[in-house]
Amino acid sequence: MNAKKDTKKTTFVPYANEADVLEVGALTIENRLDRITIAGDIDLTTDQAGLANARLLHTLLGDIVARLEARELPATLPLPVVGTVKNPFE
């Protein structure tokens, strides 16, 4: 299996914090309070490793959908507030 981190259901709780990162193959799944970011790529090969990765992604996406369905959601998220701070190294 190409999963680089323990991926039990209770390990990665979608939208629970700003810290969890899960790696599956070359995919990086980053947890945030208002979004899940998935970047990279993965080959779901026709072997045991591919099946394990597909099951892991299936479980993860099922957890994400369940968390979203349990909330009252806006049509879209507002843009984040972005500010500028003075460079402390100047």
Higher confidence at residue 83 or residue 49?
49
In this structure, which amino acid lies at residue 87? N
Query: Per residue in 27-74, pLDDT tens?
Result: 999 999 999 999 999 999 999 999 999 999 999 999 999 999 999 999
Q: How confident is the model at residue 82 (pLDDT cuts 50, 70, 90)?
A: confident
pLDDT, residue 6, reads: 42
Tokens 């810290």, located at residue: 19
Give the model confidence (pLDDT) of 8-34 as tens digits.
444 899 999 999 999 998 999 999 999
Query: Quick one: pLDDT at residue 79?
Result: 85
